[in-house]
Amino acid sequence: MGVQPNGRMSAWAIIPEYGDRVLRVIVLEDGETLHNAYFDRNFRSRLQRGLEP
């Protein structure tokens, strides 16, 4: 899980049932409240460039 500059936390998971797409989940600073969840189509390219943990 990574911490964004605004204090929100991001987590990623590969979802095999959806063609190994990467799901990104963002929670608020309290670590419990869901802010957003979406399939991140650019995750792998950012990871290769060193922009993701």
| Residue 2 CA to its chain's centroid (Å) | 8
pLDDT at 46: 84
Torsion (CA) 6, 14, 41, 28 in degrees, nearest 10: -20
Q: Does 53 have pLDDT greater than 80?
A: no
Residue 13 lies in a domain: yes
| Intra-chain end-to-end CA distance of the chain, in Å | 8
Residue 41 structure tokens: 């189509």
Are 1 and 10 in contact, with CB atoms under 8 Å apart? yes
pLDDT at 22: 94
Question: Where do we find the tokens 């095999």?
Answer: 16
pTM of full prediction above 0.85: no
Residue 53 lies in a domain: no
DSSP state of 34: E
- Domain of residue 34 covers 2-48
Domain count, the chain: 1
- pLDDT tens, residue by residue, 11-44: 999 999 999 999 999 999 998 899 999 999 988 8
pLDDT at 48: 86
